[in-house]
Amino acid sequence: MSKIDDKIANGYQLNLSQLYFDTVNIYKKSALVSGLILFLLGIVVFVLYAVGLFIYFETPLPTEEQIQSFNIYNLSTQQLLTFGLLQAFIFGVFGVLSAGLLRLCENVDENRPPMLETIFQVFVQKTGWRVFIFAFIFQLILSCITFFFDALNVFLASWFIMILAYTLFIFVIPLLIFEKQSLDKSVVNSTKIVNKRPVLMLSLVMFNSVFAMAGLFFFLIGIFATLPIWYAFVYSLYKQFKQ
């Protein structure tokens, strides 16, 4: 029985002070490279967004009124399906990139240099395809659920479901890339781990996500400096289960 299976069966205690120390230490070592990769990804997403606006408004420079009038609920079924699939595809690619960033965290934790090739190697590995499939399906289902509640103007429920989903499946990618587990086993084990200490896990996710997104308040671009802390946290959290 692996250490993770043992903790799933018998429960576990987290060393929160060690979790904090590892998160900060890994963040300091990986932030520069991780932030650069996320910045480049941000540029790609911005370009895709601009192309989408061009296709929808049929002009490269839509007016402010046109952009403000854009409403996802006014899209046709075909446009909505295309939008959902494109969003899921982007999230799938982002999921593989996230796997690479977790690999980077492992490298710096083991005192190996943070190399860009570490991140992109995941894209050509079989594990990377599994991560892509998970992230694609996850985002597609989550988008459908949140779209339903948003359409009913129950935004708080939509937000809570999103946080809950990210918490339940927080270990899926680490289990896929580090433990080499199958996709279905990773999903099941992630939910089992979280369900052992749901309140604690939910609190940790919310607390660290606030720090990760804090950069949005610094002229938006600060997100590339703060978001890497999320990956340092996820890896440090996983690390406590493999020890």
pLDDT in tens, the chain (243 residues): 578 888 888 889 999 999 999 999 999 999 988 988 888 888 887 887 777 777 766 666 666 666 655 666 666 777 778 878 888 998 999 999 999 999 999 999 999 988 888 888 888 888 999 999 999 999 999 988 888 877 777 778 888 888 999 999 999 999 999 999 999 999 999 999 999 999 999 999 999 988 888 766 665 666 778 889 999 999 999 999 887
Task: Give the global pTM.
Answer: 0.88
- As a whole number of angstroms, the distance between CA 149 and CA 156 comes to 9
Q: How far is CA 211 from the centre of its chain?
A: 14
3-state DSSP assignment of residue 146: helix
3-state DSSP assignment of residue 20: helix
Q: How far, in Å, are 36, 81, 94, 117 from residue 114 at the CA level?
A: 12, 39, 19, 9
Residue with tokens 């720090």, as numbered in its chain:
211
Q: Calculate Rg over the CA atoms of the chain.
A: 19
Q: Which of 228, 237, 243, 238 is nearest to 28 (CA)?
A: 228
- As a whole number of angstroms, the distance between CA 208 and CA 160 comes to 16
205: which residues sit within 8 A by CB, 6+ positions away? 163, 166, 167, 170
**110 close to 118: Cβ distance less than 8 angstroms:** no
